[in-house]
Amino acid sequence: MKILAVDTATYTGSVALLEDDRVAAEWDLQSAQTHNRRLLQTIDFLLQQTGWEIRGVDAFAVTLGPGSFTGLRIGMSTVKALAWSLRKPFVGIASLDALAAALQYASLPVCPILDARKKEVYFATYRSDANGGQIRQSPYIAAAPAQLLEHLTEPTIVCGDGWLLYREELLPALARLAIEAAAPFHFIRASFVGALARQQLLAGKAHDPLTSAPLYVRPSEAELNKSSGSAAQS
């Protein structure tokens, strides 16, 4: 099974090509440029370098969020369009699940943390199961960084750009509980998005690209503005 997987949930974009349980290619780049300026070019570049044809891809996967609202819309619209136009299976993966998956064999709990802007973070907690998978122990949460103190009650591996952003603020209170992951574990890799998607596909759990929606966790700016406008008119 050939899978094209994409992540655009953060400033670090990632694209990967997987064939069964092998990663054929992966591209990762942190950049201030918006993803729409490079996503299709990157997909085309990896296809050319591996000798793959887009029509030969068997399934498509993308992160649903939480993350940057603009980034999510770019990634999802691109990948959903490819899946729908080629009539191929589509799978959406939660970005926190993909970030945690890189630490799936850890003996300690894992807490991936993403920058949610507006002085908030997205996070969830996970534990490894007997088969090396990750079981989510909490809801997906959007909250002030200080609220992590309520959820990390035992030594826990922390990772993600949200942790890096608020590390100095949180370390004094979490010094004995937070075990910082190494640098390669702080960004979402599309290869893990693809690996999680393959598990779902093998279990017969493809999603509908026409109805799949971003996982925002908190209301978008447009929704907040709409609610404020409605309240003002009432």
Domain membership of residue 231 (yes or no) is: no
Half-sphere exposure of 139 (CA within 13 A, CB side): 7
Q: Which domain holds residue 175?
A: 99-184
Report pLDDT for 230. Answer: 45
If asked whether residues 199 and 84 sit together in one domain, one would say yes
CA separation for the pair 13, 83 (Å, rounded): 19
If asked whether residues 147 and 167 sit together in one domain, one would say yes
- 130 against 140, higher pLDDT: 140
If asked whether residues 35 and 92 sit together in one domain, one would say yes
pLDDT at 62 over 80: yes
**With pLDDT > 90 as the criterion, what percentage of the chain qualifies?**
84
If asked whether residues 8 and 74 sit together in one domain, one would say yes
Report pLDDT for 132. Answer: 75
CA separation for the pair 112, 14 (Å, rounded): 17
If asked whether residues 87 and 11 sit together in one domain, one would say yes
**With pLDDT > 70 as the criterion, what percentage of the chain qualifies?**
92
Can you give the CATH number for the domain in which 33 is found? Answer: 3.30.420.40
Report pLDDT for 38. Answer: 87
If asked whether residues 180 and 197 sit together in one domain, one would say no
How does the average pLDDT of the chain come out, rounded?
91
pLDDT at 234 over 70: no
If asked whether residues 30 and 49 sit together in one domain, one would say yes
Domain membership of residue 178 (yes or no) is: yes
For residues 191-195, give the mean pLDDT. Answer: 98
Q: Using one digit for the tens of pLDDT, what is the confidence trace for 81-102?
A: 999 999 999 999 999 999 999 9
Domain membership of residue 198 (yes or no) is: yes
Q: Using one digit for the tens of pLDDT, what is the confidence trace for 14-54?
A: 999 999 999 999 999 987 666 777 899 999 999 999 999 99
If asked whether residues 217 and 174 sit together in one domain, one would say no
For residues 200-219, give the mean pLDDT. Answer: 93
If asked whether residues 161 and 92 sit together in one domain, one would say no
If asked whether residues 92 and 24 sit together in one domain, one would say yes
Whether 75 contacts 59, CB under 8 Å = no
pLDDT at 228 over 50: no
Lowest-confidence region among 75-79, 131-135, 156-160: 131-135
3-state per-residue secondary structure call for the chain: CEEEEEECCCCEEEEEEEECCEEEEEEEEECCCCHHHCHHHHHHHHHHHHCCCHHHCCEEEEEEECCCHHHHHHHHHHHHHHHHHHCCCEEEEEHHHHHHHCCCCCCCCEEEEEEEECCEEEECCEEECCCCCEEECCCCEEECHHHHHHHCCCCEEEECHHHHHHHHHHHHHHCCCEEECCHHHCCCCHHHHHHHHHHHHHCCCCECCCCCCCCCCCCCHHHHHHHHHHHHHC
Domain membership of residue 233 (yes or no) is: no
Domain membership of residue 232 (yes or no) is: no
Domain membership of residue 228 (yes or no) is: no
If asked whether residues 179 and 192 sit together in one domain, one would say no
Domain membership of residue 229 (yes or no) is: no
Domain membership of residue 122 (yes or no) is: yes
* Number of domains comprising the chain: 2
Report pLDDT for 35. Answer: 73
If asked whether residues 91 and 193 sit together in one domain, one would say yes
